[in-house]
Amino acid sequence: MRLTGAEIIVQCLLEQGVKTVFGYPGGAVLNIYDEIYKCKDLQHVLGRHEQGLLHAADGYARVTGEVGVALVTSGPGATNAVTGLATAYMDSIPMVCITGQVPVALIGNDAFQEADTVGITRSCTKHNYLVKDVKDLARVLREAFYIARTGRPGPVLVDIPKDITIAATEYSPAKGEVSIRSYKPSISGHTGQIRKAAGLMAKAKRPLFYTGGGVILSNAAEELTQLVRKLGAPITNTLMGLGGFPCTDKQFVGMLGMHGTYEANMAVSRCDLLVAIGARFDDRVTGKISQFAPEAKIIHLDVDPTSISKNVEVDVPIVGDIKTVLGKMLAMMEDGKYQSELPDLGDWWAEIEQWRRKECLKFTQGDEVIEAQYVIQKLYELTKGNAIVATDVGQHQMWAAQFYGFEKPRRWLTSGGLGTMGYGLPAAIGAQMAFPHETVVLITGESSIQMNIQELATLKQYNLPVKIAILNNSFLGMVRQWQELFYERRYSESDMTVHPDFVQLAQAYGATGMMTARPAEVSGIIEKALAIDGPVLMDFRVNREANVYPMVPAGAALNEMILL
């Protein structure tokens, strides 16, 4: 059948199983929007800023495991989307972003609302396309979805000139799986290397699993949990890996890295085998690289071959899909050969229990001033640990990671790689759109939320019952903490005392607003918020100069933590 470019775009989205598109219209994409208007099978979510709607598509992708889809116009629409693309790229989130472009004949002529979108986004997308012939459009869109969701996931951008959306060509529904000659992700893993890794795991006396977001992206949490329990070894998650293993399990030793637990960081420093799975040895995790896991042989399993030995040399590299490879490891363990060789880890666990007795996350909640950690503890208790939790970036993000336990994957939305303030509110919107009957909580700071606060209007437009908890210390909290510890308390431009009345602001956007500075009122406010069928903003005035501990100073080794 013969279709216009705009009709082909809508047909391809439906073909890929897309149900929800996060977008913002403009001149270059009006033909696409006209087709969306006619289509009853696509839900369009109108954001208030392109950065926000990219984060919303990102949040939707993280909780569903599906490809998030965003649609923006040319020029400033595309450039506003760059932060959202970079955020998704750093955290390997599958996304397809369609951008409008000026007509083909005007490209390079400084036309109105023109930008070199492909050039600008080359370094923050997994791949990008500029479509100059409508005959290529369907193929490009199908490839975009395939690339976004396979191998190491990531955002793919498709830039479509306005005249391509008007032009017509023959269109046929997709036939079979996409095949791209130059793109063949390795899935199965090398059997010899997997066997070698299984042998090391079965013999190690001080093994430790170090797992990241790749476990969640590949839906491998169940296989990971089975393997770790079978070996009886301790496990730590990165910030991105939270939920990949149940946090209440006795084998979980907490998050590692700059604000990781004492026991997790000490275990990394003492283990004789480190099994890194779906983690990329980020500098916030490794600390001083020369002293990272100094006594350990290292196994690294990752779908991305470029991540292997990029930051830390490894002994056994395995390139493959984590779910597939862990399944093979489990099968090897179940044949009995390795199981019979497993050593007694009693001495290793005794050492870990000694570190646990430090109680590195302890804090005291008094009667006068609210501690941020206390608010998060109450959120955990009153949501029974079942909420989908989004955060922005800063102290509140680290406290949320430390104090809101995660039992399951795809419940934790945070910008780990890029560290994007303003991520949380739109990401929570994306999660709530995906799961309208789940409890979605945003934990944020008074500074972070102002980066994309206009999305409160999106909350109201779709009556999304997101519960927002602002941990308001009137500071750029993490900046202030670094200035206190490393700049002799010279608080240069980190004081944020002047901020809106958040209660009135919430009401102006049609949401419910509540505020307290009293510890005794924290639980009551959260209970009231959870009972309201609609968006609620809670402004908790917390201890202004509380710090996040433990903390590994920049450039220090993991065992050189600052404790409270």
- The count of other CB atoms within 10 Å of the CB of residue 30 is 15
Say how far apart CA 165 and CA 287 lie, in whole Å: 50
**Strand segments (E) across 305-387:** 316-319
Say how far apart CA 414 and CA 401 lie, in whole Å: 9
CA 210 to chain centre: 17
Q: Which amino acid is at 22?
A: F
Catalytic residue among 7, 35, 50, 446: 50
Catalytic residue among 51, 126, 162, 538: 162
**Strand segments (E) across 343-387:** none
Rounded to the nearest 10 degrees, how much is the dihedral formed by the CA atoms of 493, 498, 504, 505? -30
* Whether 478 is catalytic: yes
* Whether 162 is catalytic: yes
Comparing C-alpha atoms, which of 452, 451, 448 is closest to residue 469? 448
* Whether 113 is catalytic: yes
Catalytic residue among 113, 291, 365, 454: 113
CB within 8 Å of 85: residues ≥ 6 apart: 54, 95, 97, 121, 124, 125, 155, 157
| Spatial strand order in the sheet of 316-319 | 252-255, 235-237, 207-211, 273-277, 297-302, 316-319
The two structure tokens encoding residue 247: 């946090």
- Dihedral sign (CA 54, 59, 60, 65): positive
Q: Which amino acid is at 39?
A: C
Catalytic residue among 478, 496, 514, 551: 478
Active site residues: 50, 112-113, 162, 478
